[in-house]
């Protein structure tokens, strides 16, 4: 199984940032903001955030902000709730939320809430329970939850709950671990976890563990390192994480490492990428792997960053 090759992962993340003309960089150009969050959050969990020039990153982030207040995935692209949360999370990592006009960002987000309490991801109107999480998490970090109708937002999320205890993207949508994280995370942040049937959902989530120790996102699917985050964080928020075999999951994640060049893949021996590297390290953090900073399961930020946001005077 081996150990977490921290230095190799740091080197890999820094190399991805520098290779702007690589295939990976080109195909991810439109969501570079997410890539920045995945990479920088990984570095912070590994205790290596100072390996990058924060001023350069912050300057680039602010160039991605639109007049509407929302952020795009890269300079010259359209704003979306997804990139807006990633931008805010990265600024939080660097303790630079003060460079933001918080009300301007909050007004962009609140303007995307619909009459039924749901949220659209951007001006084009797609509705998804993921966007409810993005809105609530972002506004929570900015101390601006009062800008939206929280009661309606919570009721909409509750309407996405299924008979198996899980949650879908819209009312009646299939239960999926990614959507469950978003719904449970939003309910946790708003103090509304009473809407969750914890035993029923806990059972559905713990059944995502397969023989290899990895977790999948839906029944009959292959395991994937990213669900080490989506499933595990949800189980922690509903206090049912003891229902899975943690040691087998740690072994699965470590087996997905490229021990020579760094990075983590979705499954053993597949190609690595920044997305799976982050969620692998984040999963290990939730599993209390030695040497990693603790991560908050609801806000998807290191606990010390969350404490700084909510408890620093």
DSSP string, 65-89: B-TTS-BBSSTTS-B-HHHHHHHHH
Residue 82's nearest CA partner among 112, 114, 46, 115 is: 112
Residue 70's nearest CA partner among 109, 110, 124, 111 is: 109
Q: What is residue 2's predicted lDDT score, i.e. its pLDDT?
A: 73
| Structure confidence at residue 25 as a pLDDT band (50, 70, 90) | low
What is the CATH number that goes with domain 6-311? 1.50.10.20
Q: What is the tens place of the pLDDT at every residue in 117-168?
A: 999 999 999 999 999 999 999 999 999 999 999 999 999 999 999 999 999 9
Cα 281 from chain centroid (whole Å): 12
Name the residue with higher pLDDT: 27 or 226: 226
Q: What is the tens place of the pLDDT at every residue in 40-91?
A: 999 999 999 999 889 999 999 999 999 999 999 999 999 999 999 999 999 9
Token couple for 242: 């003891």
- 272 bridge partner residues: 265
* 3-state class (DSSP) for residue 287: coil
| Helix, strand, coil shares, percent, the chain, to 5 | 55, 5, 40
| Structure confidence at residue 190 as a pLDDT band (50, 70, 90) | very high
Q: What is the tens place of the pLDDT at every residue in 91-116?
A: 999 999 999 999 999 999 999 999 99
Domain boundaries in the chain? Answer: 6-311
Q: What is the tens place of the pLDDT at every residue in 263-303?
A: 999 999 999 999 999 999 999 999 999 999 999 999 999 99
pTM for the full predicted model: 0.96
Distance separating alpha carbons of residues 223 and 227, to the nearest angstrom = 8
Q: What is residue 16's predicted lDDT score, i.e. its pLDDT?
A: 84
């Amino acid at each position: 199984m081996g150990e977490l090759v921290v230095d190799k992962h740091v080197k890999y993340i820094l190399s991805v940032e520098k290779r702007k003309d690589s295939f990976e960089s080109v195909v991810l150009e439109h969501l570079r903001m997410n890539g920045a969050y995945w990479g920088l959050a990984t570095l912070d969990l590994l205790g290596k955030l100072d390996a990058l020039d924060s001023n350069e990153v912050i300057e680039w982030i602010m160039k991605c902000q639109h007049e509407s207040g929302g952020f795009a995935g890269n300079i010259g692209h359209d704003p979306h709730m997804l990139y807006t949360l990633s931008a805010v999370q990265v600024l939080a990592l660097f303790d630079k939320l003060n460079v933001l006009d918080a009300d301007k960002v909050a007004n962009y987000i609140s303007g995307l809430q619909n009459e039924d309490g749901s949220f659209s991801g951007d001006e084009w109107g797609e509705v998804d329970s993921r966007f409810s999480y993005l809105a609530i998490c972002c506004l929570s970090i900015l101390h601006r939850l009062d800008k939206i109708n929280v009661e309606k937002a919570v009721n909409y999320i509750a309407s996405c709950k299924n008979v198996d205890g899980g949650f879908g993207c819209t009312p009646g949508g299939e239960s999926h671990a990614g959507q469950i994280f978003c719904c449970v995370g939003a309910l946790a942040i708003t103090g509304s976890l009473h809407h969750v049937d914890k035993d029923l959902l806990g059972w559905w989530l713990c059944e995502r563990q397969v023989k290899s120790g990895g977790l999948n996102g839906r029944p009959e699917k292959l395991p994937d390192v990213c669900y080490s985050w989506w499933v595990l964080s949800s189980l922690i928020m509903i206090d049912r994480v003891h229902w899975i075999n943690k040691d087998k999951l740690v072994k699965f994640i470590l087996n997905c490492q490229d021990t020579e060049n760094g990075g983590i893949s979705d499954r053993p021996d597949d190609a690595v990428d920044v997305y799976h590297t982050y969620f692998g390290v984040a999963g290990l953090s939730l599993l209390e792997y030695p040497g990693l900073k603790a991560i908050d399961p609801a806000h998807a930020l290191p606990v010390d960053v969350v404490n700084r946001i909510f408890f620093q005077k």
